[in-house]
Structure 1
Amino acid sequence: MLHILPETAGDIIVIQATDTLTSADYQDIFAPLLEEKIANHGQVRCLLYLDHNFKGWEAGAIWEDTKLGLQHSNDFIRLAVVGGGEWLDWAIKLGQAFISGEAQHFSESQFLQALHWIDAG
Structure 2
Amino acid sequence: MAIVIHEDFDAGRLEVKVSDKLTKEDYTHFEPAVERLIESAGKIKILFVMHDFHGWEMGAVWEDIKFATKHCRDIEKVAMVGEAQWEKWMSAICKPFTMSTIKYFEADQEQEARQWLA
TM-score normalized by the length of structure 1? 0.89
Segments of 4+ in structure 1 off by > 4 A? none
- Give 1:94 deviation, angstroms: 1.3
Counterpart position of 2:75: 76
CA deviation profile, 1:9-31 (whole Å, cap 9, x unmatched): 1210011001110001112x110
Q: Greater strand percent: which structure?
A: 2
CA RMSD in angstroms, aligned pairs only: 1.0
- Give 1:38 deviation, angstroms: 0.6
- Give 1:95 deviation, angstroms: 2.6
State the aligned residue count: 114
**Contact 1:15 1:48 survives alignment (8 Å):** yes
**Contact 1:95 1:104 survives alignment (8 Å):** no
Query: Structure 2 regions of 5+ residues with no counterpart?
Result: none
Query: Structure 1 regions of 5+ residues with no counterpart?
Result: none
State the alpha-carbon separation in 2 of the partners of residues 32 and 58 from structure 1. Answer: 20
The percent identity for this pair of structures is: 27
Counterpart position of 2:43: 43
